[in-house]
Amino acid sequence: MTDGMQQIWVYLAAKPLTGLTLTLIAYQAALWLHRKAGGAALLNPVLLAVCVLVGLLYVTGTDYPTYFGGAQFVHFLLGPATVALAVPLYRQFALVRRSALALGSALIIGSLTAAGSAVAIGWALGASKQTLLSLAPKSVTAPIAMGITETLGGLPSLTAVLVILTGILGATLATWILGLVRIRDQRAAGFAIGLASHGIGTARALQMNEVAGAFSGLAMGLNGLATAILLPLLYRLFF
Amino acid sequence: MVHLPLLADQAGPIAAALVGSTVLTIIVTALIVQWLARPAGEDPAP
């Protein structure tokens, strides 16, 4: 960067709105590209926006606390956005009630599969115990996952990274995987996406349709609860 | 603090666990819901 550009950046970086503006521009540009590409799963807007922002912070040498000083408004909106997931769920409540048995069974088996398969694959390939404990709750929404990891003795900050990566993976691969195993039921599609890839997956499910979005939001909440209960019990059994 | 050395050191097992587990979880969960929530009398075969 030239000296002039460097000075302009130092000035802008000190302004709290810069982080927010960059975040919004990066996401809007990524969303535009995603739509232009006909909704291509690999061009997931969250993935693209994260890549652009990480690259930008790296190139400009901006530390995370400085960026977050402005971007924390988006973080604040995460709370109301999560609560707003109750709206599609309320609209689909009759459908949820009719599917209660299927959802309960899928929740327990899916929750155990998410944690168990991650630990089993990691263990088979030689991951350390601390890594395995940090991997186990990776399908749960970040605040709950970090709390679970802390209880088990893993690394909460590593879990946070793994949770985000899982969300992006699930959102990117979900439609392809569901097509592969011929899932036509939107309740099943949404519930599986939310359970495996929490909020980022739910954003993808909401783009698919309202039924998938409602069931995805439900799965995200229920899986947080199920994993918080099941994982410490399993840990006491096996370690 | 984001334990970058640990991430780099165990990138292979971590990547395999994330991809494998996410794919497996989506398949298992979706198949259970689709199969158990199907209307009565419907053929369970795809």
With a cut of 60, say whether residue A38 has pLDDT above it: yes
Q: How high is the pLDDT of residue A54? A: 92
The predicted-structure confidence for A91-130, as pLDDT tens digits, reads as follows 999 999 999 999 999 999 999 999 999 999 999 999 999 9
Which of B22, B28, B35, B38 to mutate to probe the A interface, most A CBs <10 Å? B22
Q: How high is the pLDDT of residue A73? A: 84
Provide the ipTM.
Answer: 0.84
Which residue in chain A is spatially nearest to B11 when comparing CA positions?
A127
Rounded to a whole number, what is the distance in Å from the CA of B41 to chain A's nearest CA? 16
**Contact: B25, A102; criterion CB under 8 Å:** no
Rounded to a whole number, what is the distance in Å from the CA of A20 to chain B's nearest CA? 22
Contacts (Cβ under 8 Å, ≥6 apart) of A26:
A48, A49, A52, A53, A56
The predicted-structure confidence for B1-46, as pLDDT tens digits, reads as follows 556 777 788 899 999 999 999 999 999 999 999 999 887 656 555 4
**Contact: B33, A185; criterion CB under 8 Å:** yes
**Contact: A178, B26; criterion CB under 8 Å:** yes
What tokens were used for B34? 């689709």
What tokens were used for A94? 């009759």
Q: How high is the pLDDT of residue A162? A: 94
Rounded to a whole number, what is the distance in Å from the CA of A177 to chain B's nearest CA? 7
Answer yes or no: pTM beyond 0.95.
Answer: no
- Gap between the Cα atoms of A230 and B18, Å rounded: 20
Contacts (Cβ under 8 Å, ≥6 apart) of A83:
none
Determine contact: B19 vs chain A, CB below 8 A: yes
State what percent of residues in chain A have pLDDT above 90.
Answer: 70
Which of A42, A105, A175 to mutate to probe the B interface, most B CBs <10 Å? A105
Split at pLDDT 50, 70, 90, the class of A183 is very high
Candidates B3, B13, B34; nearest CB to A188: B34
CA dist A179 to A47, A160, A163, A174, Å?
Answer: 21, 29, 24, 8
